[in-house]
Amino acid sequence: MVVGCGALGNEVLKNLVLMGAEHLTVVDFDRVESGNLSRSVLFTKEDARQGRYKVDVIAERLKAMNPRLSIRTIRGDIAYDVGLGLVRQMDVIIGCVDNRWARYCINRLCMRAGIPWVDGGIDALEGTVRVFVPGRNCYACNLGPEGLKDLSRRMPCSGVIRREEAAGKAPTTSVIASVIGAVQVQEALKLLHPELLASGQMTSLCGRMFYYEGAQLTGRVVDFQAYDADCPVHDRWEPVRRTSVTESLPVGDALAVLRRELQSDNLTLHLSGDCFVDYVIRRDNDARKEVMLPGRAVSAFVEQDKELSGIPFSGLYQHEYRAVGDDFPYPSLPLSALGIPPQDVLYVSAPTGDFYMEMV
């Protein structure tokens, strides 16, 4: 799975197909713009003119390179739209994203699923590659105080409503994307061949970071192996059981099916990826403003609402559900309206224990 189809994603995908990868999943929510063309080998002016989705263009171009390629496209956001069950089917995930929140989300999925991932980052003439293997090292454990501060600004569910921040767009070149994307693919291929790593024929970057700087031509490999015993982010979700629940099922029905499958009452379904918001109100006013949205959609809702848009977010309060049970007041809403993506793994608490239920 390749997450992000920008400059890095283009390079990574091109290399993967040239190296013979024939089963790919690509994730991106963006459309091709003219600004992408100077550093994206797979996009054309016509794609930008038509405003086509990057994943659609990528699938077409890569199939032209290898007609036997099977490629699944997800037009969405790694933070919300990719189910853990799908991640569990992957051999490796390659992250080609440009912000810490997206990296945090990739890491959380990979750690829960037990799948290794390769991170790449580029900025002007510099770039980095890091490899994370569940049980060995974890992106979240390696975030310093500054990283955690930046992350909390982007988290959709941190107690108050956040304005969406425009991602910092540093000017990058195709050259740095080529260097870093190539190293990412090399490292991903090593992870697919543990026998070569075990025999010492090859060495993985796992637990270290490769840093490259083009202006003075410096390259370094430094340790990057923090792994804290009490980090909740890298908990593995296992064992996983199958459930016949799907994301289109209403909450009430889904709970009934889970009760039957787990032979237990008093279930709680935890909303792990994003929270569900019930209402938004002014702090100095009792008038409820019912919105019933997944948390990530609240900022856009508030911006568009005449009554709320002029109020600073610090003057608003939102009611969040982080878990739903039999007392959830909207049992007819489908699970998808709560922000649960297709093929996700549901985290369910019962009096008899906690269960991880993979949707079909």
Q: Is 109 in the site for Zn ion (CB under 5 A)?
A: no
- Token output for 153: 């600004």
Site string for Zn ion, 231-250 (x = CB under 5 A): x-xx----------------
Q: Is 61 in the site for Zn ion (CB under 5 A)?
A: no
Binding segment toward Zn ion, per CB under 5 A, in 124-132, 137-145, 151-159, 208-216: 137-145
| Sequence-separated contacts (24+) of 253-257 with Cβ below 8 Å | 254/335, 255/324, 255/325, 255/326, 255/331
Q: Is 140 in the site for Zn ion (CB under 5 A)?
A: yes
Q: Residue 116 CB, nearest distance to Zn ion (Å)?
A: 14
Distance of CA 115 to the CA centre of its chain: 13
Helix (H, G, I), strand (E, B), or coil: what is residue 241?
strand
Q: Is 151 in the site for Zn ion (CB under 5 A)?
A: no
Residue number with CB closer to Zn ion (227 or 301): 227
Residue number with CB closer to Zn ion (118 or 141): 141
The terminus-to-terminus CA distance of the chain in angstroms comes to 19
Q: Residue 138 CB, nearest distance to Zn ion (Å)?
A: 3
* Block residue for tokens 């799907």: 246
Q: Residue 297 CB, nearest distance to Zn ion (Å)?
A: 28
Q: How large is the C-alpha radius of gyration of the chain?
A: 21
Q: Is 82 in the site for Zn ion (CB under 5 A)?
A: no
Residue number with CB closer to Zn ion (136 or 319): 136
Beta strand 276-282 with 316-321 is: antiparallel
Residue number with CB closer to Zn ion (55 or 111): 111
Site size for Zn ion (CB under 5 A): 6
Rounded Cα distance between 28 and 104, Å, is: 16
Residue number with CB closer to Zn ion (233 or 316): 233
Residue number with CB closer to Zn ion (231 or 311): 231
Q: Is 143 in the site for Zn ion (CB under 5 A)?
A: no
Binding residue (CB under 5 A) for Zn ion from 84, 138, 180, 345: 138
* Block residue for tokens 């007392």: 327
Encode 338-347: b = buried (16+ Cβ within 10 Å), e = exposed.
bbbbbbbbbb
Rounded Cα distance between 101 and 121, Å, is: 13
Contact residues for Zn ion (CB under 5 A)? 138, 140-141, 231, 233-234
